[in-house]
């Protein structure tokens, strides 16, 4: 943690995505009526936004799988099938997601896809269980698509609970258990606030100009409020700030999928030389 140098001046910068200037409410720029001069560092102070982050995006709103291969074998030549998961939908419970996904499977024009039924392992005994989703295909063999980080569409399978790189076909009427939990309510653990004010920061082999990460610690429909308990200094890129660009990203570096009328307010302190 760095302490402000003697003789510096702090100026407060109030930003919100309600009047974006240009862009969208997750990727926008705002011009300052009074440019800030002699900027040397940026401090993150606070962030407020309704927690209306949808769990699926246009890139990963799919459940992907294979049918009619050889039981016990990994899919090779079989056609990858998908059912869509709405990018406008919130799921307030895992049971609600199961009901929705079963409806999407039954709505498929492919008669074989209609044979798949999803349920949940809720208990081994009284009061405990793994929460894993269970898939069963009454019409033939079935295998979910494995997760591949380089294929964004398979992120949907990862969120549903299929995190391994590949899966083998199981026979008809055989329960196939997901290996992970159904992470279908909260999209992301944190919001990355990226700006044009600071230099690069590094995280997990990805490069973001991130001022701060805000934890997503409330369920959809609640207000997300975060006040930084730390005084952390990020060197400013340019001493003259006349326009600020803000991008709101999830843990994977994707733009947040939020409604058009969901806006954030953010407060930064700009440390300036006299």
Residue 126 has pLDDT above 80, yes or no: no
State pLDDT tens for residues 165-209: 999 999 999 999 999 999 999 999 999 998 888 865 555 545 556
pLDDT of residue 224: 96
State pLDDT tens for residues 237-268: 888 999 999 999 998 889 999 999 999 999 99
pLDDT of residue 204: 53
Reported pTM: 0.86
For the segment 63-68, the average pLDDT, to the nearest whole number, is: 98
Domain ranges across the chain: 9-53+187-272, 62-177
Q: What share of the chain has pLDDT > 70, as a percent?
A: 92
For the segment 150-165, the average pLDDT, to the nearest whole number, is: 94
The number of beta carbons lying within 10 Å of the beta carbon of residue 207 is 10
pLDDT of residue 197: 86
Is 43 within 8 Å of 271 (Cβ atoms)? yes
Give the separation between CA 254 and CA 250, rounded to whole angstroms: 5
What is the fold, at CATH topology level, of the domain defined by 9-53+187-272? Jelly Rolls (2.60.120)
């Amino acid at each position: 943690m760095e302490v402000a140098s003697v003789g510096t001046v702090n100026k407060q910068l109030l930003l919100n995505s309600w009047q974006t200037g240009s862009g969208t409410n997750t990727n926008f720029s705002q011009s300052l009526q009074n440019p800030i001069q002699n900027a040397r560092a940026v401090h993150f102070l606070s962030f407020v936004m309704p927690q209306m982050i949808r769990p699926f995006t246009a890139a990963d709103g799919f459940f992907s799988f294979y049918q009619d291969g050889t039981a016990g074998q990994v899919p090779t030549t079989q056609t990858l099938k998908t059912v869509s998961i709405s990018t406008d939908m919130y799921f307030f419970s895992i049971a609600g997601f199961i009901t929705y996904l079963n409806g999407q499977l039954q709505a498929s024009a492919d008669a074989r896809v209609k044979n798949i039924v999803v349920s949940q392992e809720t208990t081994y005994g009284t009061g405990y269980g793994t929460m894993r989703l269970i898939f069963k295909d009454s019409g033939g063999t079935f295998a979910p698509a494995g997760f591949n980080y380089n294929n964004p569409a398979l992120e949907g399978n990862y969120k549903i609970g299929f995190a391994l790189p590949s899966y083998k076909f199981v026979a008809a009427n055989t329960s196939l258990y997901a290996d992970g939990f159904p992470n279908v309510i909260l999209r992301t653990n944190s919001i990355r606030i990226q700006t044009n004010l600071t230099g690069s920061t590094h995280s997990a082999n990805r490069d973001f100009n991130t001022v701060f990460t805000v934890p997503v610690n409330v369920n959809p429909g609640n207000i997300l409020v975060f006040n930084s308990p730390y005084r952390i200094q990020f060197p400013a890129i340019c001493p003259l700030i006349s326009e600020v660009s803000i991008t709101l990203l999830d843990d994977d570096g994707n733009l947040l999928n939020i409604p058009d009328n969901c806006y954030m307010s953010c407060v930064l302190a700009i440390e300036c030389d006299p």
